[in-house]
């Protein structure tokens, strides 16, 4: 269903690998994990999903349409004048979108603040998820958030889609860049594996590395 929906989105082919690499994780999140729906999209104790990797949001839009957050016909005009769907998402324009992103390296810091805000208000059931790309980790701002979340044992879940797109790569792989976090590594297309990794609640920050085919292969 979502694959069909996804084909309606055109105009941002440059970011197609980026968009399609996230599709399975997004489906699992919205179909199995997140406690959110169009009806509860403004509840203060809802789960939060922040798409940090705002490039190539076609899969995100397709899932939001499938789940009823946005009308399907919005998908046909992505990036056009008077469309609500840009080639980077805007939370002010799109129901269900928690943050407007596109410039890399902003989602994880916002997610840390979101998780802190939920905790400070006693919303202990509410979980915070943030999705990043492996190349996005090159942005230094992420490391401020990674280290701080580990130091205060903040329960949030960061999902890194690894399609080996970082220009220089990273010795030791992605988990080596998240000291103090618990780690799951999953096949980025295997819904049951993704589900298991995302459904477990942790008392400290958790990293899920979802491996997909290399961007440049």
Interface contacts to another protein, rule CB under 8 A: 44, 90-92, 98-100, 103, 105-106, 108-121, 140-141, 144-145, 147-148, 151
Burial class (CB in 10 A: 0-12, 13-18, 19+), 203: exposed
What beta strand segments (E) does 29-147 contain?
48-51, 128-133
Q: How far is the CB of 109 from another protein (least distance, A)?
A: 2
Please report how close the Cβ of residue 24 comes to another protein at its closest, in angstroms. Answer: 26
Angle between helices 141-151 and 107-120 (to 10 degrees): 30
Closer by beta carbon to another protein, 11 or else 102: 102
| CB of 148 or CB of 185, closer to another protein | 148
Q: Within the chain, how many helices (H) and strands (E) appear?
A: 7, 5
Interatomic CA distance for residues 181 and 207, integer angstroms: 6
Q: How far is the CB of 111 from another protein (least distance, A)?
A: 6
DSSP designation for 14: G
Question: 162: helix, coil or strand?
Answer: strand
Least gap, CB of 160 to another protein (angstroms): 17
Closer residue to another protein in complex, CB, 28/36: 36
R_g over Cα of the chain:
16
Q: Closest approach of Cβ 56 to another protein, in Å?
A: 18
Nearer to another protein (CB atom), residue 43 or residue 187: 43
Dist CA 65 CA 63 (whole Å): 5
Residue whose CB is less far from another protein, 28 or 118: 118
Query: Both tokens of residue 105?
Result: 């390296």
Nearer to another protein, 83 or 141 (CB): 141
The distance between the two most distant Cα atoms of the chain, rounded to a whole number of Å, is: 46
User: Which DSSP category does 157 fall into?
Assistant: E
Determine if residue 21 is left, alpha or beta; phi over 0 gives left, psi from -120 to 50 gives alpha, anything else beta.
Answer: alpha
Provide, rounded to whole angstroms, the least separation between the CB of residue 187 and another protein: 30
């Amino acid at each position: 269903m979502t694959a069909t929906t996804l084909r309606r989105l055109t105009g941002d082919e440059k970011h197609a690998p980026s968009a399609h690499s996230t599709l399975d994780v997004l489906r699992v999140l919205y179909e199995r994990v997140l406690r959110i729906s169009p009806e509860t999209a403004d509840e203060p104790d809802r789960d939060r999903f922040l798409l940090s990797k705002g490039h190539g949001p076609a899969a995100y839009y397709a899932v939001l349409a499938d789940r009823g957050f946005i009308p399907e016909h919005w998908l046909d005009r992505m990036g056009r004048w008077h469309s609500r769907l840009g080639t980077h998402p805007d939370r002010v324009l799109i129901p269900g979108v928690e943050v407007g992103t596109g410039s890399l390296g902003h989602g994880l810091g916002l997610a840390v603040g979101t998780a802190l805000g939920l905790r400070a208000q006693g919303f202990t059931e509410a979980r915070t998820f943030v999705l990043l790309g492996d190349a996005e980790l090159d942005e230094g701002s992420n490391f401020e958030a990674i280290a701080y979340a580990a130091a205060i044992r903040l329960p949030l879940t960061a999902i890194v889609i690894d399609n080996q797109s970082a220009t220089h790569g990273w010795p030791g792989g992605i988990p080596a860049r998240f000291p103090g976090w618990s780690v799951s590594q999953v096949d980025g297309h295997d819904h049951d594996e993704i589900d298991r990794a995302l459904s477990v609640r942790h008392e400290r920050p958790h990293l899920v590395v979802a491996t997909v085919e290399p961007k440049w292969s």
